[in-house]
Structure 1
């Protein structure tokens, strides 16, 4: 197996796993674990916390227009930029980028040209604002700051 195919397979697998976690939600609450709930100081099988102990849920504002992307940009895209693997996944208005050992997620909006607005948990900012457009079967992402990724649709490994 050549190095390019190995990198592509690894990026596709990582992108798929990260996309599934980011887009579907992940982790379980204390009631879904076995053992002690260290935050609440009670066994996971014990009674639920009293209403006074549970934090109140704050309503999250919903945008007046939900994010939308075109069908052409939706999917998983992989490639190499500067010899390093880059993966972009766009689905139903959500976006996930894996690049330079960073994971960034956020929104994808627009038709034709898709605006990507992402945040990275570790403070990475190189690929947080950009625009993506499909050209000749490739996804070309131009990031604020000048980096340009040209990616191909990820196939099954």
Structure 2
């Protein structure tokens, strides 16, 4: 299915920018990242770093590959993020004792304490959307379904 709108000649064109699903997702993502950039400034972390911290606040002491799976990131993208977070004193990386091929990531005390400073971020994002909880939950489920379908095509 493609989204169409009549062009200036009255014909339907699949190549109009405003008809592109990808552009709607892209521009919404830009707006959301701008909001997160503003909210995360006081924590001194970027949005991708925030995502890593969310994974670790949920479950500490995980492998790099586990984090990558959760965030849909490959190790080449994830490793620089982890190095910067480690340099900031928020986490430690070390070889697994069980399997030296794996790197285990653990939060430092500073990384754990950052969690309390981040508590208000989800509410701030919720308020910025001006949507009710049911609408946002539905949108989230639809986007997850779309992501899963697209990942199945890759």
Query: TM-score normalized by structure 1?
Result: 0.26
More helix as a share of residues: 2
More strand as a share of residues: 1
Q: Which is bigger in relative contact order (C-alpha 8 A, separation at least 6)?
A: 1
